Amino acid sequence: MALQLGDEAPDFTAETTEGTIHFHEWLGSSWGVLFSHPKDFTPVCTTELGRVSALKPEFDKRNVKVAGLSVDSLSSHKDWAGDIKETQGHALNFPLIADDKREVADKYGMIHPKANDTLTVRSVFVIGPDKKIKLTLTYPASTGRNFDELLRVIDSLQLTAKHKVATPVDWKQGGDVIIVPSVSDADAKAQFPQGWKTLKPYLRVVAQPK
């Protein structure tokens, strides 16, 4: 069965462009993003890996460790890294997992045979400090992902892990949020002493907590 939200992210040991990693140990107490791309030396993937490298400081700021993966060899990854730096202006600065035996891809269900029976699709797993899967995304090979959206989602996940709020459509860091329906008005008074706006009894809007 496919991995679902709340499942433990499978552990593994793998060779990467930054040496061998034992996944859970490598994550430590950080958040994690594990994402697959279909193949080295392909155009969309080259742009994606350049973008993730450019955004590395943003992931660091959020205490998120990022690892990429495809079913290519370590030597292929290392050769391709030169093209990423040359064409995208950012050198690869996070581990790229060499999964030529498909061990990790199979554990995470990253190969969707009806799309392609040998290559990984563009999967994304966001993993919390408790090693549980907090978010999954699946894009086809032909569509590059929007990694700013991934950062936006991580901001929401980290905020909602800490406070009893949910984030509305198109929410961005600093925007108003919603008090979750399980919090009574009496409890909300203690948690949000500055007050909130009630649009409907189930739709209470409050400034983003710090």
Q: Which residues bind ligand BEZ (CB under 6 A)?
A: 38-39, 42-45, 141-142
Q: Is 205 helix (H, G, I), strand (E, B) or coil?
A: strand
Least distance CB 51 / ligand BEZ (angstroms)? 13
Q: Which is nearer to ligand BEZ, 62 or 90 (CB)?
A: 90
Cβ 174 vs Cβ 157: under 8 Å: no
**CA 69/CA 25 separation, integer angstroms:** 18
Cα dist. 201→160, 163, 170, 178, 209 in Å?
A: 20, 19, 22, 12, 20
Q: Which is nearer to ligand BEZ, 48 or 155 (CB)?
A: 48
**CA 14/CA 31 separation, integer angstroms:** 19
Set 14, 21, 45, 71: catalytic member:
45
Q: Token pair for residue 59?
A: 């992931």
For every residue of 103-127, DSSP letters joined together read HHHHHHT---TTT-SSS--EEEEEE
Least distance CB 106 / ligand BEZ (angstroms)? 19
Q: Which is nearer to ligand BEZ, 138 or 208 (CB)?
A: 138
List the helix and strand counts (H, then E) for the chain: 7, 11
Least distance CB 41 / ligand BEZ (angstroms)? 9
Q: Which is nearer to ligand BEZ, 141 or 206 (CB)?
A: 141
Query: Is 45 considered catalytic here?
Result: yes
Q: Which is nearer to ligand BEZ, 45 or 179 (CB)?
A: 45
User: Comparing C-alpha atoms, which of 58, 115, 116, 70 is closest to residue 97?
Assistant: 70
Least distance CB 159 / ligand BEZ (angstroms)? 32
Q: Is 18 helix (H, G, I), strand (E, B) or coil?
A: coil
**What are the φ/ψ torsions at residue 49 (nearest 5 degrees)?**
-70, -30
Least distance CB 116 / ligand BEZ (angstroms)? 8
Q: Which residues are catalytic?
A: 45
